Structure 1
């Protein structure tokens, strides 16, 4: 519920301002603010898992989303939300994630976020990469999501 309030109040005002700056040639400052906004949205999305709030999870998914989560890509919000419901069962989250990198197009319309995925005990098990689309001021929704196993690579 707090995420919805944020979007409706402060998020909308911040987004309108930063989007206007980016579109008006606000340069790095506008883009930097959009990056921070998407970082906050990704963190709120991740909190849905920690809070065990599948309904809130669904609010972040675009209608035409594609998630590479199972044996075949999940297409559309309904399919994504239904398949991911299994991860919201039970009192303890099976995994968590957090953004480390966020990049936003100069237009402010799309953003990419990426970061580590940890198991329930905090051990790294993978990385996620998500593409977000600004659908309305302050309303970012995820359109693509793909995870990959953790790399046990030397020097990384």
Structure 2
């Protein structure tokens, strides 16, 4: 019986490269789901859950200031979680993931409590220990009358 354990481990070690690789579409779905769960923390008024999505070394930019590190970000966002109604909401519209599966960009609309688009968010996610996606960079910007990402207008390299 004892000989089976090392043999089983060896079989798994040799078979691992043959297992199907995770596709980019699967990774995009993971990040999209993570972004939706991150946004749900605002709707649920769950500040502690918000903190769980922020990487220890994250940077958030917005409103003319820079917040560095989880503690500063969590403290800086505490006011958004006070009160019974969320001051804004967001949802992913576009998600792209590097082929390496380690870094992703998520962006989409920011809406006021009445559903009016008041801005756009851009979040960079990094896959950390145990495959967990965490936000490492986040920046919001005012809305524009631009075509959605992937549109055909704009100059090459402009992203618009």
Q: TM-score interval w.r.t. the shorter chain? A: 0.7 to 0.9
Q: Rg larger in 1 or in 2?
A: 2
Match of 1:130 in 2: 123
Q: How many residues align?
A: 129
TM-score (norm 2): 0.77
TM-score (norm 1): 0.79
Q: Distance in 2 between matches of 1:71 and 1:150?
A: 16
Aligned positions of 1:29-40 closer than 5 A: 30-40=23-33
| Large movers: runs of 4+ above 6 Å | none
Query: What RMSD, in angstroms, separates the aligned Cα atoms of the two structures?
Result: 1.5
Q: Distance in 2 between matches of 1:145 and 1:155?
A: 21
Give 1:41's match in structure 2, choosing from 14, 34, 39: 34
Aligned positions of 1:4-23 closer than 5 A: 21-22=21-22
Match of 2:80 in 1: 87
Give 1:53's match in structure 2, choosing from 46, 51, 57: 46
User: Unpaired runs of 5+ in structure 1?
Assistant: 1-19, 23-29
Match of 1:118 in 2: 111
Q: Which fold has the larger relative contact order, with Cα–Cα distance below 8 Å and residues 6 or more apart in sequence?
A: 1
Q: Distance in 1 between matches of 2:125 and 2:146?
A: 31
